[in-house]
């Protein structure tokens, strides 16, 4: 029997109801469903008395999700999509993202159109867009302490009431550089429209095989965003007396102490998004972020001739 996975945001009643409606709809078509909440992909944060909570990347796959699942469906907003990608990426399952949230930058369709969308997928009328993810690992002198998959970005920043931070950053075999800032962001192309954009980084088309490094509130006019090949590993070592905070995709993180290092590299597990029509990235930028909209004072060239 065919099988479909559903991951939903159980903090939103509408997403939970929709998951049950989908399950019934698929059952009538002799399609089995396995269900899980997005909580399984939220790793939480380390605490002062327990700064590290190591969870293996492969251990986040929900119970019942396996290679027999044809595709998975994420019901929620962008946060649910980020969590779902972390849960199913090791299985390389294609993911349909149904927006029940607000922005929905990563979602493909809306809750009013889900029946038509699933029917189209079952008919084979879709394409899969592959997006790179990052593996973020924290080490001390004894070895690996913490790891997570990231679709958007990793952020290493100071805690409140601490002073300016210094970071030594080495990309690949290139010479290390020192950055003085409140923090640093390493972002995927998908994450270039998230925190990285707010921090002044460029928007990067999702298919380009790069990452970017962005200082947060840098203490130098020479420190600017850097785009580099995602075949290169980035190693960030804090040069501070105080502990720092590592946050991955806004919903996972741990403390980073002065003798720790953070390593970021392209994951072997990509995110695979189901697209019901040919992707148009600039259209999404325009509709969600207002990029490229005509300026109200743009002159009418016909009137000038």
Q: Is 229 annotated as a binding residue?
A: no
Q: What beta strand segments (E) does the chain contain? A: 3-8, 32-37, 44-45, 69-76, 95-99, 109-110, 127-131, 134-140, 143-150, 153-158, 165-171, 177-181, 183-187, 210-216, 226-229, 234-238, 244-248, 252-256, 261-266, 271-275
Chain Cα centroid distance, residue 81:
8
172 annotated ligand-binding residue: no
C-alpha dist (Å) from residue 129 to 154, 228, 275, 300: 22, 22, 7, 39
Q: Is 126 assigned a ligand-binding role in the annotation? A: no
Taking the CB of residue 20, how many other CB atoms lie within 10 A of it?
A: 13
Compute the distance between CA of residue 188 and CA of residue 5 in angstroms, rounded to an integer: 26
* Residue 251 in marked binding region: yes
The verdict on whether residue 78 carries a ligand-binding annotation is yes
- 78 classed as catalytic: yes
188 marked as part of a ligand binding site: no
**Is 45 labelled a binding residue?**
no
Query: Do residues 181 and 215 make contact, with C-beta atoms less than 8 angstroms apart?
Result: yes
Task: Specify the 3-state DSSP secondary structure of 106.
Answer: coil
The answer to whether the annotation marks 305 as part of a ligand binding site is no
205 Rama class: left (phi>0) / alpha (psi -120 to 50) / beta: beta
How far apart CA 41 and CA 191 sit, in angstroms, is 17
Residue 194 annotated as binding site: yes
228 by DSSP, 3-state: which?
strand
Answer yes or no: is 66 a known binding residue: no
- Choice among 10, 30, 49, 78 that is catalytic: 78
Q: Point out the annotated binding site.
A: 78-79, 152-153, 182, 193-198, 251
Active site amino acids? 78
Q: Point out the annotated binding site for NAD(+).
A: 78-79, 152-153, 182, 193-198, 251
């Amino acid at each position: 029997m065919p099988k479909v996975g559903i991951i939903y945001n159980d903090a939103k009643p509408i997403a939970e109801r929709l998951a049950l409606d989908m399950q019934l709809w698929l059952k009538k078509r002799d399609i089995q469903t396995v269900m899980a909440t997005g909580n399984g992909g939220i790793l939480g944060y380390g605490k002062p008395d327990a700064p590290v909570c190591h969870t293996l990347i492969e251990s986040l796959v929900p119970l019942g999700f396996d290679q027999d699942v044809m595709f998975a469906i994420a019901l929620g907003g962008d946060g649910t999509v980020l969590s779902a990608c972390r849960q199913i990426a090791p299985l390389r399952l294609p993911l349909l993202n149904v927006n029940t949230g607000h922005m929905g930058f990563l979602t493909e369709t809306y809750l009013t159109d889900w029946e038509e969308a699933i029917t189209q997928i079952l008919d084979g009328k879709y394409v899969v867009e592959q997006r790179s993810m990052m593996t973020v690992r924290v080490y001390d002198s004894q070895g690996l302490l913490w790891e997570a998959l990231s679709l958007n970005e990793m952020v290493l920043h100071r805690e409140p009431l601490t002073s300016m931070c210094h970071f030594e950053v080495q990309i690949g075999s290139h010479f290390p550089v020192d950055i003085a800032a409140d923090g640093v962001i390493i972002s995927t192309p998908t994450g270039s429209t998230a925190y990285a954009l707010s921090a002044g980084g460029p928007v990067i088309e999702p298919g380009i095989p790069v990452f970017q490094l962005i200082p947060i509130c840098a203490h130098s006019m020479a420190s600017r965003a850097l785009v580099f090949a995602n075949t290169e590993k980035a190693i960030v070592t804090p040069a501070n007396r105080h502990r720092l905070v590592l946050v991955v995709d806004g919903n996972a993180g741990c403390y980073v102490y002065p003798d720790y290092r953070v390593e970021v590299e392209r994951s072997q597990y990509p995110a695979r998004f189901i697209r019901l029509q040919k992707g148009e990235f600039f259209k999404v930028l325009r509709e969600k972020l207002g990029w490229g909209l005509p300026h109200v004072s743009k002159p009418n060239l016909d009137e000038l001739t």
